[in-house]
Amino acid sequence: MDEKMEIVDLFIQFNKYDLALETLQEISEYQPTKEVFLKISNVYEYMKKYDESLYILKSLIKKGELDPVVYFKIATLYQKKKDINTCFKYLSLAIEKGYNSEYIFYYKGLIYEDQNKLGDALDYYNRSLRKDKSFISSRYRKYIIYLKTNRYKECEEELRKMIKYNGDEYDGYHLLFTFLMNMKRDEEALNILRRALAVLGEDTIIILDYTKYYMYMKQYDKSIEIIKKIPKDNIYYSDFSIVKAKIMALNEDYDEAIKILIEDGVYNEENPEVLYFVGLYSIKLKNYTMAERFLEFLNEVKNSDNEFVWFGIYILGYAIKEQDNDRSTKYFEKLDEKYKLLLISNPYEIRIMILRIMVMIELEQYDEAIAYSEGLMKITTVEEVKELNILAKDMKDKREIIKDKKIIEVVNSILER
């Protein structure tokens, strides 16, 4: 059986779900164990056949199965079917059967967060943390909610608690380092890296953040010196290479930056950051067809809820405009609709709102851009909103300014945060 289950895992790994099901059904005839039926349920879930998956799991319960994992799996499937009431019913049953309650509270928080009921989400994350202060997943989601809603004091508090209760993991140190750098608190950020190094030792991921720190501080030689020592078989090799490419670009060597990003072991069409920077540096070289080719891949990546996707599909419009102005107008009209849809699932995301202002400017909707940016300035102090407000007013007054260059500067300043 073990050998056949290994084959099933291989079928699943290569998305051969029909073969996986066929093999599992053969196994179930002579060994109808819970493990086998859970695996069958999982395969149906991968195929998005949620009703079939539920049928398998409920048949286990009918046979007297009391494992809380089964009840939890049923809850997650109802969540995917958008039947939240039934989902919560089975989450409660999972707790009754002994499932880890802090994880249940965390999962409920995720559901409320997905519905943009952030107050309810925070309540459940807090319940989870009352059960276990070191439950890092809930702590991280609280940090994300505070970040989205510009509650920076609470962001920092959660990250410091993450270090306090999960000090043997690097996640909290890394997030606090990044947060402090974004807040321009460079010395405090460096102290966090030093603290992590003292506690965790010379881990590669800590060294990666050191290279970023030196890059931000324009100490490029120190950063490059570290990167040179990283072998190609290192798990973080591509991350170090991206830092190196950025340094080349900061020195205006865009050809070399692109060369680094498209080399084997670095380039990945599923990595939005790589695609974004290849596109951006191609624009810097005025190679707009190449920029369009790479930025188009951003519409295909699985992780579309990503800032490099959001901004990359904007500068794709810029690359199109340099080749065909009429085509770019149609593109920006569609892009405005896309950003509106993104805001439905990310209603507190200031960066998407900023991108909407940029699109309004591209479409010469200056009054709308001015009104929208002035509304945003009442709820955020993000400097780029003010810059775009001034830009829209200048464009409306037909002043002599280089609009496109200014827009690209705004994009970069936000992504460098």
Tens-place pLDDT, residues 160-200 = 999 999 999 999 999 999 999 988 999 999 999 999 999 99
The pLDDT value given to residue 165? 97
Task: Express each pLDDT in 332-343 by its tens digit.
Answer: 999 999 999 988
Contacts (Cβ under 8 Å, ≥6 apart) of 110: 121, 141
Q: Which residue ranges of the chain lie beneath pLDDT 50? A: 417
Q: Is 365 left (phi over 0), alpha (psi -120 to 50) or beta?
A: beta
Q: Return all residues near 389 (Cβ < 8 A) that are at least 6 apart.
A: 357, 369, 370, 373, 374, 377
Give how far Cα 390 sits from Cα of 167, 226, 365, 367, 373, Å.
45, 41, 14, 12, 9
| Residue in this structure with the two tokens 């290569």, named with its chain if needed | 14
Q: How much is the pLDDT for 417?
A: 47
Classify each residue of 318-346 as buried b or exposed e, where b means 16 or more C-beta atoms within 10 Å of its C-beta.
bbbbbeeeeebeebbeebbebbeebeeeb
Using CA atoms, how far apart are residues 127 and 95, in angstroms rounded to an integer?
14
pLDDT at 400: 55
With contact defined as beta carbons under 8 Å apart, do 147 and 154 qualify? Answer: no
> d(Cα 396, Cα 358) in Å, to the nearest integer?
14
Which residues are CB-neighbours of 217 under 8 A, at least 6 positions away?
186
Query: Nearest Cα to 258, choosing from 272, 240, 242, 238?
Result: 242
Nearest to 308 by CA among 352, 368, 264, 256: 352
Cα–Cα nearest to 282, from 309, 320, 310: 320
Between CA 235 and CA 65 the distance in angstroms is 41
Q: Which residues contact 386 (CB under 8 A, 6 or more apart)?
A: 373, 377
DSSP structural state of residue 39 = H
pLDDT, residue 2, reads 64
Give the pLDDT of residue 37: 87
